[in-house]
Chains A and B, each alone.
Chain A
Amino acid sequence: MARKDLLDIASLHREEIEFLLDQSTSFKKLFTHSVKKIPALEGKSVLMLFYEASTRTHSSFEVAAKRLSAEVTNFDVAHSSITKGESVRETIETLQAMRTDYIVVRHSHPGLPGMIARQTTASVINAGDGAHEHPTQALLDAFTIKEKFPDPRGKKVLIIGDILHSRVARSTSTLLQKLGVEVAYLGPGSLVPKYVPASIPRFTDYEAAMAWAPDVVYLLRVQMERQDVQFFPSVREYHRVYGITTARLAEIRDKGLYIMHPGPVNRGVELCDAVMDYERSLITNQVENGISIRMAVLDWLTPGGEFPRQESYVAQQQVSSKVIMP
C-alpha cells in the first residue's frame, strides 16, 4: 500500500487517506511525551528543496523529520538564478548522486515535483507546486476538521479568496470531497475561475454563501506579492467584501462556525484581529497538526524505488497520454 512519492491528493485512495489520518493521530499523542523523538527514520536523510520561501511549511517538515530521527539537509536554492526548469534538471542529477532518501520540494511551477520524482529513487513529497497541489496541507486541514467532526460526511466547508492561484484550495477541496465533505467557493470574479468543477458550487456574495450554512469558513491568504496584476481594487475593498469583519465575526460566533486559514494571516485583510482570539478559530491547530501529518507521510513513504511513475489523477480520469481517436 505504501508509495514512493506523495505528489498530489487527487490520486490518493480513500483508504490511504484514512490510514494517514489515523497515523497522524498516533504521532500527535507523542507530542505530550517528554521525549518527542522516535527512531523510525534513523539513518535516513531528508533533503529540503525549497525554490519558494516558506518558513511555515519548511520548518514543519523539518520538525517532523527530526522527530522521526532523520537527518535533515537544506539545499540552497533560494536564489532566483537557479529556479528555472533547466537548472532543476541539473540539480536532480546532483541529488540522485547524493542518494538522499526523501526530497521535500516546493516550486512555483506546477508538475515540477512529479518531474523530480520520475528521475530519482528518493521519495518525493510535494510541498506545494505553483497553483497545483499542496497535499500535506490538505491532509492537515482534513485532520484538523476530523478532530472537530469525527465523521465529517455531509459537513460543509466554504473556501473564501484567491482560488485561481491557490494550491491549497485545489488540494484541500479535493481531499475534503473524498471524505464526503461538501465544499463551496467564494471570491472575487477575477480570482475564481469559471471552470471550477461543477461539484463545487460557487457563490458570488457573502450573504448567499452564508445561507448555504457552512460548518467551516476556510480563508485563503491574499497573495500580496501578486501586485503586478490587479485582481481587485484595494485591500480595503477586499476586506469589506470577502473578509471576516468584526460584524461578520459576531454572526459566525452566533452560528458556532469554525474558522481556518493556511497562514500566514494578513490581519485586517482576510480577517479582523479579533478572529485570532476566537475560540473556534482552528488556525493554530492547523499549524500543530502539520507536524504530525508530515511525520505520518514521511513514515508511510518508501524510498528507493526504481523511478516509478506514480499513478496520476489523470490516469484516474481515464485520460491517456497516448494517442487516442479524436
Chain B
Amino acid sequence: MLLLQNARIASENSPVLLEGDVLIVEGKIQEIGSSLALPEGARAIDARGRVLMPAMFDAHVHFRAPGFENKETITTGSEAAINGGITGVVMMPNTRPALDSATAVATVLENAKDRARIPVYTSGCVTKNREGKELAEIEGMRELGVKMLTDDGDTTADPAVLLRAMQYATEFGMFFASHCEVPELAGPRALNEGVMSYRLGIKGSPACAEEIIIDRDIRLARAAGAHVHIQHVSSKLGMETIRWWKSRGDVKVTAEVAPHHLLFTDEHIGDYDTNYKMNPPLRTQADCDALLEGLKEGVFDIIATDHAPHTPFEKAQDFISAPNGITGLDTALVSLYHFFVEPGKLGWDLVVKRYSAEPRRLMGLPVPTIEVGQEVNCVLFDTEAETTFTREFMKSKSQNTPFIDQTLKGRVDLVILGTEILLER
C-alpha cells in the first residue's frame, strides 16, 4: 500500500492540475481525495508540489537487438525508458536479421518478456529484409500481436509494393508507419539542405525529399483504405501536408514528431557535432516552430523519440562517416518539460495526451489514467528539481545525445507500474 500525498494530478482532459492524495493498493488506485488517512502498513510519500501523471509510451524506438547489441539491448533500452518515465515502447524492425517474419518476431518478444521490466512491443517489416521487393510474412506477425508495419530506416521505395502491402494487411487490422524519404534526393542523409550545408560543405538533404513521400504514402493509404502513420516529421511543409490531408477527412492518417525536431536546428551541428546528426535531419527554426504548432493543433497525434543508440566509437568519427540518430528515452520527458511546459508553451494535458494516451490508442492498448479503479501506471515528476544527464545517469547503452552533461529543469522521481515500483529517486 502506498499513499502519495498532495500530488498535483495531470490528465489529458484537464488543463489544470488537481491536487490530492492517491492511495494505491495492490497495484490499483483505490482512492483519491484530500487528506486521506494513512492506512496501517501503508507507506506515505510526500508528493507535495510534484506532478503525478500517467506514464509515457514511446511508439518509435530502436533497441538494436538482434544484431547490434553493442549499441543497445532490450534490457538497457527498456531501463532507459523507465529512467525517462516511459513504461511501454514499440521497437522498430530494422535489426539484423530484420523482423520480417513470425519466427523473428517471436524470438524478440520472448526475449523482451525475460529481459524487460516494461511491456516491449515490436513493429514488423513491410517487406522481406526491408528490401522493398517481396511482402514480409504479415499475417504470421499479426498473430503475435504486431500491429504496425514499417520498413523504418528507409522508405518502401516502390509505391506499387507498398500499395499492395496496404491492401493486404489492412484486412488484418494492421497499419503502416512510414519513414518518408526519397533516397535519390536525400543524398548522403546527414544534414538539412540550407545555409549550414553550404557552410559545412556537405551536400544537404532537402525537405522536399521527405515531403514527397509524406504525400505519396497518404495517397496510397487513401487508395488502399489503409491507416498510415507518418513517422518523425521534420519539416513545416511536411506538417502542413498532413494537416491538409487530415482536414479532408477521407483517409486515416496519424503522425508523430520527435522532441529533437521540436528543439534543435541545423545550426546546432556547429563544428560537425555528430550528436546532432540524425535522419530526417534537423532543419530550421521556422520548421521547429511549425512542428510545435502542429503538435498543439493535433496534426501530430503522438510524440515519439526515434531513440537511436550508436556506440561512442561510431559517433566519434567524422560527420559524414558517423551514423544517423540520437538516443531519446532518458531525456525526452525532462527536455519537453524544460523547453516547453515550464516556459508555458505546452500544457501537461497535452504532454499526457500526446506522449501517454494517444500512442497507446494508436497501438490499441488500454490508456492509463489517475482515476479510482485504474491499474497504476504512473510517473511522479518533480518540476523544481533538476536532472544532469551524465553518463552515469543514462541507462541507455549508448549516450549519443546533445543533452550529454547538460542540466535541465525537471526530474522523474518515481515510476510505478502495477505492483512494482520501477524507479525511485
Contacts and interface: CB of A to CB of B under 8 A. Distances in A.
Contacts of B198: 170, 193, 195-197
B186 to A, nearest CB: 14
Contact of A326 (B199, B201, B339): B339
B69 interface: no
B264 A326 contact: yes
A320 to B, nearest CB: 7
A325 B322 CA distance: 26
A56 interface: no
A284 to B, nearest CB: 28
B201 A133 contact: yes
Interface in B229-288: 262-265, 267-268, 270-273, 276, 285, 288
Contact of A319 (B204, B267, B313, B322): B267
A86 to B, nearest CB: 6
A201 interface: no
B318 A131 contact: no
B406 interface: yes
Interface residues of A, number: 36
Contacts of B195: 195, 197
Contact of B406 (A84, A110, A314, A323): A323
B19 interface: no
Nearest to B339: A326
B203 interface: yes
A189 interface: no
Contacts of B406: 322-323
A36 B199 CA distance: 38
A110 B285 CA distance: 24
A267 interface: no
Given A131-B202, A195-B197, A321-B273, A109 B319 contact: yes
- Interface of B, secondary structure class, is loop
B267 A112 contact: no
Contact of B201 (A84, A131, A312, A315): A131
B288 A326 contact: yes
A89 B265 CA distance: 28
Given A85-B318, A109-B319, A323 B402 contact: yes
Contacts of B322: 85
A110 B339 contact: no
Contacts of B271: 111, 114, 312, 314-315, 321
Interface in B305-355: 313-314, 316-322, 339
Interface residues of B, number: 38
B198 to A, nearest CB: 5
Interface string A128-143: 0111110000000000
Given A88-B317, A89-B316, A130 B339 contact: no
Nearest to B184: A229
B421 interface: no
B282 to A, nearest CB: 11
Given A320-B270, A323-B403, A326-B262, A112 B318 contact: yes
Given A115-B272, A195-B193, A326-B263, A89 B201 contact: no
Given A85-B317, A111-B272, A326 B285 contact: yes
Interface in A149-187: 164, 167, 170
Given A130-B201, A131-B202, A326-B263, A111 B318 contact: yes
The 7 closest A-B pairs by CB, nearest first: A85-B321, A132-B201, A85-B317, A111-B272, A131-B201, A321-B270, A109-B320
Interface of B: 193-195, 197-204, 262-265, 267-268, 270-273, 276, 285, 288, 313-314, 316-322, 339, 402-403, 406, 408
Interface of A: 84-86, 88-89, 107, 109-112, 114-115, 129-133, 164, 167, 170, 193, 195-197, 312-315, 319-326
